[in-house]
Amino acid sequence: MIEELLGDAETKMDHAVEHVQGEFATVRTGRANPAILHRVVVEYYGTQTPLQQLASFSVPEPRLLVIQPYDKSSIGEIEKALQTSELGLNPSNDGTIIRLAFPPLTEERRIELTKVVRHMAEEGRIAIRNVRRHIKDDLEALEGDVSDDDIHRAEDRLQEVTDRHTARIDELLERKEQELLEV
């Protein structure tokens, strides 16, 4: 029973780290990265459709992202969705493809994005601590069925798993901050 709870904690904490990593990928660093488009949703024939289902992406230059719609008639809707998104980029369309030029980030914007990334990391740490708290409650509920020593050892192992996952988020944060502050 204890092993199942610890395995469950490991899995949930892994998901929290993966989520933070995915969130970091959506933050613009001044270089073209198709991952920032994962949140863009386009109204396509009356349905909200993720952009990656409507187009392919390529990065011909470090600061240029090219979007090629599968259906040429959807180019206007894709362009409108890009303009209304919080990306802060101006798409240009030549009738067949859409180009997104990434301007260099200002120092002010870099600092602002660093704060956003730190907030995302803190949300990930909170998620990990919540998992730890729930599993710890489940372990304490086993009192009487399992010896106190086994519960104490399991709590120590749970803390080790928590520390390891928190350290992974800190590593991801450090890498992302370096990427953002790189000129």
Domain at 2-25+106-181: CATH code: 1.10.132.20
List pLDDT tens digits, range 32-90: 778 888 888 999 888 899 988 999 999 888 888 899 999 888 898 999 888 887 777 78
Minimal CA–CA distance to 58: which of 73, 46, 69? 69
Is the pLDDT confidence value at 183 over 70?
A: no
Whether 86 and 48 have beta carbons less than 8 Å apart is answered as no
Is the pLDDT confidence value at 131 over 90?
A: yes
Task: Give 34-101's CATH code, choosing from 1.10.10.10, 1.20.272.10, 3.30.1360.40, 3.30.565.10.
Answer: 3.30.1360.40
Least confident of 21-30, 46-55, 120-129, 145-154: 21-30
- pTM, rounded to two decimals: 0.72
List pLDDT tens digits, range 162-181: 999 999 999 999 999 988 88
Between residues 5 and 112, which one has the greater pLDDT? Answer: 5
CA 13, 16, 21: angle at the middle one, nearest 5?
Answer: 130
Parse the chain into domains and list their residue ranges. 2-25+106-181, 34-101
| Domains 2-25+106-181 and 34-101 belong to one CATH topology | no
What is the token pair recorded at 128? 């990990």
Q: What DSSP assignment string belongs to 115-173?
A: HHHHHHHHHHHHHHHHHHHHHHHHHHHTBTTB-HHHHHHHHHHHHHHHHHHHHHHHHHH
pLDDT at 156: 95
pLDDT at 160: 96
Coil, strand, or helix at residue 90? Answer: coil
